[in-house]
Amino acid sequence: MTQSNSQKNMTAVERVFLGGVRKVLPTGEHAEFIAETCEKMGIPFGGGGNITISAEFSGARDMTYIEEARRLTDEKFKVKATKTDGGVNVSIIFGGMRALYYALCRLFRQISDGFILAGEFFDYPLFERRGYIEGFYGKPWSFDERASMLRLMSERGMNTYYYAPKDDEFHREKWDKLYPKSYFDEVIRIKQLADECFVDLHFCIAPGLSMKYSDEDCFTKLMAKFRQLYGAGIKNFGLLLDDIPENLQYAEDIEMFGGETVEAHIYLANKVYDALKSIDRGIKLTVCPLQYHGRGDEYFITKLGKGIEPDISLFWTGRNICSQELTVIEAARFIESTRRRPLYWDNFPVNDAEMINEMHLGYIDGREPELFKYSEGIISNCMEYCESSKIPLLTVADYLWDPLRYDAENSWKDALKTVVGEEHETFAYFADHLFTSCLKSENSRLMNDALGEIQTQLYTGNSEKALRVFSEYSGKLSKCVRFLKNSDDKLVGEMSRWVKKFLLCAETLELCRRFMAGEKELEKQIADKYDEYLSKPEVLANFSFNEAVEYILKM
C-alpha cells in the first residue's frame, strides 16, 4: 500500500482519466483554501475547470474519531468523486483543516498523474504523531532543504518535525546563548512554513554537556532560550539529555542530587515543564533521556518516567540505538515502567557515526503493524543528506499513515518515482545496492538474482544462456551509469561517494562479461579494477558480486 491507493470503507472506485485538461474549479465555503492549496502545489485552477471541488466541515463522530486507535482526530476525511460529462465533481467532508489539506494533497497527486478515482471513501492516519527529526551528527540542513522536506512530508501525511541537529552550535554547545538575529529570522520562516503545511514544529535544546543542574543562573539562561523561541510562535519544545556523561560533573550537583543523574534530570525536566506552562498552558514538552534504549524497564528509565510530569513525552529508540525491530511487547513494557507510551525516536535512515559509509536508501521495516495503539508515534531520524533522506522517509510516511496495509516494496518504488522522476526504474539499479542498514543486512537484490542465474547456467554447462543473462543485466547497468554520469540532480550529487564506487562495480562487471565472451586478455584489467573497487570504504554490492568476479577469473 502507498497513500495514493490507501482508502478505507471504500465503495466502487474507477479511474477517470482526465486527458489533456486538468484544471480545478474551487467552489463552496472553502473555495479560497482549495485555490491556495492548488497554487502551492502547482495545480491549475479557476474558471472553466473540469474538476469541481467543494468541501464541508463535519464535527460528527464518524469524522472526528478513529475507532482502531480509540482517539479523537482532526485528520479524518471523506471524499466522493463522481464522473460528469465534462470531467469530475469532487466533494470532501472533513473533520479539521489538516484533514482537508491531506484530502486535497491526495487528489492533486492523482490529478498530476492524469486521473481521479471516482467513488467514495474515508481515510485517516492510524499513528497520531508521524514525523521526522533533524537529529544527526553532521552538517545541518539549509533553509531551502528544510523547506523542501517540510512540503513533501506534509503532503504525504506527516504532521511533526523536530529540529535538533547535533552540529548546530546554538542547539548543543552554546545552548545558553540566544540565537543570533540572522539565524532566528530563519527559525521564524520555518515556523511559518510549518504552520502553512499543518506540521507541528518542535524546537529542541540540548544543555546536558555543560549545564549545572543546581545552578539557578544556568536555568535562567535555558529559559531565556525557550522564551526567545516562543517569541517566534513556537509552542512545542524538546529538552534533549542524550549522549552526555552518565555521571554528574559538578560537586554542587552531586551534593544536591545525591550523585544520582536521574534525580537531576527529573528535577530539570519538571522545572522546565512548570516554567513553560507558566508562559503558555498550550506548550508541549518532549524529553530525550540519558538512557534512550534498552528493555524499557531498567532503573534509570523507570525512575525518570515515574518522576516526570505525566504529559511530558519521552523519546525512546527501542531495544537498541538503531533497532531492527520495534514491537508491541516492548512498547507495553515501556508503558508499564514509565506510565506513558513511548514516542519513538527511530534511528532510521540516519547514517552518522559508525554508519558513515552506508547510504540508507531502503524502506522502513520491522515495525509491528499494531504499534500505533501502544505509542505516541514514530519520529524518524534523518541523514545529513536531505534529498536522499526523502526516499526512505516517504516509506515511513506510508507506514505511519496505515501500518495495517503497508506494502514496503510498493511504497519504496513509489518513493523512487516521487524523488527521482521518469528515470526511477533506471536509478533502481543503483539504489539496489543501498539497502544495508540496521534494518537489513541483505543488499543488491537485482544483482544477486542476475549473478545467481548466470552462475547456475555456467554450473550446468549452458554458457550461451549465461552470457545472454549477463548481457541483459549489463545493459541495464550501463543505462544506469549513463544516467548517473549525466545527471546534475542534487540527489545524485549527495551520493557521489557511492556513485563512484558503483561505477567501478559496473565497469568490473562489464569487463567480466567481455572476459566470458572470449576476451581472455582482460584478466589483469578485471583484477585491477576489482582491487580498486575493494579499496573504497563505501558499503555497496555484497557477497554475490565478490563471488561472481572471483569465479569468472578462475574460468
Q: Which residues are catalytic?
A: 243
Residue 458 to residue 335: CA distance in whole angstroms: 56
Decide: 433 and 541 in contact? Cβ < 8 Å.
yes
Pairing type for strands 236-240 and 343-346 reads unpaired
Calpha distance 132→160 (Å, rounded): 7
Q: How many CB atoms lie within 10 A of CB 360?
A: 26
Taking residue 183's Cβ as centre, other Cβ atoms within 10 Å add up to 12
DSSP letter string over 385-437?
-HHHHHHHHHHHHHHHH-TTT--HHHHHHHHHHHHH-TTHHHHHHHHTT---S
Burial-class residue 342 by CB neighbours within 10 Å (0-12, 13-18, 19+). buried
Q: How are beta strands 14-17 and 115-123 bridged, if at all?
A: antiparallel
Given a contact cutoff of 8 angstroms between Cβ atoms, the answer to whether 304 and 253 are in contact is no
Q: Which strand ranges, in their side-by-side order, compose the sheet holding 115-123?
A: 14-17, 115-123, 77-83, 88-94, 51-57, 24-26
Q: Which residues pair with 71 in a beta bridge?
A: 66
With beta carbons less than 8 A apart as the criterion, state whether 52 and 90 touch: yes
Q: Phi/psi zone of residue 346: left (φ > 0), alpha (ψ -120 to 50 degrees), beta?
A: beta
Polymer length of the chain: 555
d(CA 373, CA 379): 16
How would you class 496 by CB atoms within 10 Å of its CB: exposed for 0-12, middle for 13-18, buried for 19 or more?
A: exposed
* C-alpha span between 123 and 393 (Å, rounded): 20
Q: Write out 131-151 in H/E/C secondary structure.
A: EEEECCCCCCCCHHHHHHHHH
